[in-house]
Amino acid sequence: MADSQALLGARFGIDLPGTEVPDAVAPLIDRRVARRYTDQDVPDSLLDALLAAAQSAPAKSDLQQYSVVVMRDRPRIKQIADWIGTMDWIATAPVFLVWCGDMRRGQRLCALHDMPHANNNMDTFLNTAVDCTLAMGAFMAGAEAIGLGTCPISYVRSHIERVSPLLGLPSGVYPVAGLSVGWPQFRRPVSMRLPPSVVVHRERYDDSALETEVAAYDQRRNARDPVAAAGLKNNDVYPPRDGVGWSENVARQLSVPERFGFSTYLKTKGFDLA
């Protein structure tokens, strides 16, 4: 049996008495992001097995509304890293995957069977994003179980007007996230998460204790790993200062519009969103 309290203490910074972590679950709780990779390649046979695991994830109504673009060409991967500008380590990954929501396949199947595609709406957009994310999560769990490192990259959507042509994404297909994949140079520390009391609700949603719980979380997190000036969000809007906690840094990020052209882009790619 895994050392439950050691795992949970590392993840949450608090004791969770009575919670026992089975051995099979321990690697998920001990998951760590990997942002630096060795020169060792990821064999196609292994990558294909992990992609098969991704396709084994649940899919809404068995519609399977996602696609993944596998990138191995280092100059092309570096092009994406250069566009993002703040994540040069992406270029060190031997594999970069771009996970995409895909409505196009369903549209083509309807045309193939001489039927209208009558579900171009917000619900379909959400289903494509969820199907894609579930598949990516399954890939990550499989990859990390065998010692590979991964890191999701939402910033591909910040440069969607460049990434889409680079990948040849047609109408009805859009990038949800990138994922760098490789053998990690080292294991980063576990990232502390909010306590379950904030995230997990029993029977009914209740955030009445949010302020107290988050204040304690800010203190625990800063005691272990203070927010560095380099990690502060939107320093051009809010002056950097010492002592900023996780919650304020979240507020700094969410108070400034981000990717506000995303819905416009989706409409140009054939999504109705009504």
Three-class secondary structure of residue 238 per DSSP: coil
101 and 50 in a common domain = yes
Q: What's the pLDDT band for 111 if we cut at 50, 70, 90?
A: very high
One domain, residues 62 and 136: yes
The pLDDT tens digits for 151-168 are 999 999 999 999 999 999
Write down the pLDDT at residue 243. 87
- Residue 41 makes CB contacts below 8 A (sequence gap 6+) with 94
Express as a percent the part of the chain with pLDDT over 70: 99
Q: Write down which residue in 156, 188, 220 finishes a domain.
A: 188
Same domain assignment for residues 215 and 142 = no
The helix (run of H) or strand (run of E) holding residue 263 is: helix 262-268
Kindly state whether residues 166 and 96 are assigned to the same domain: yes
Residue 183's domain is classified under what CATH number?
A: 3.40.109.10
pLDDT, one tens digit per residue, over 55-83 is 999 999 999 999 999 999 999 999 999 99
Residue 228 pLDDT class (50, 70, 90 cuts): confident
Residues 30-45: pLDDT tens digits?
A: 999 999 999 999 999 9
Q: Which residue's entry shows tokens 């949800």? A: 176
Q: Is residue 143 part of a domain?
A: yes
Mapping DSSP onto H, E and C, the string for 76-125 reads: HHHHHHHHHCCCHHHHHCCEEEEEEEECHHHHHHHHHCCCCCCCCCHHHH
**pLDDT tier, 230 (very low <50, low <70, confident <90, very high otherwise):** low
Residue 162: which region, alpha, beta or left (left: phi > 0; alpha: psi -120 to 50)? alpha
H or E segment to which residue 131 belongs: helix 122-145
Q: Are 49 and 137 within one domain?
A: yes
- The distance between the two most distant Cα atoms of the chain, rounded to a whole number of Å, is 63
Shared-domain flag, residues 38 and 66: yes
In this prediction the pTM is 0.94
Give how many domains the chain has, as a whole number.
Answer: 2
Statement: residue 1 has pLDDT above 70: no
Helix axes 122-145, 44-55, angle to 10 degrees: 140
Segments forming the whole domain that contains residue 243: 207-274
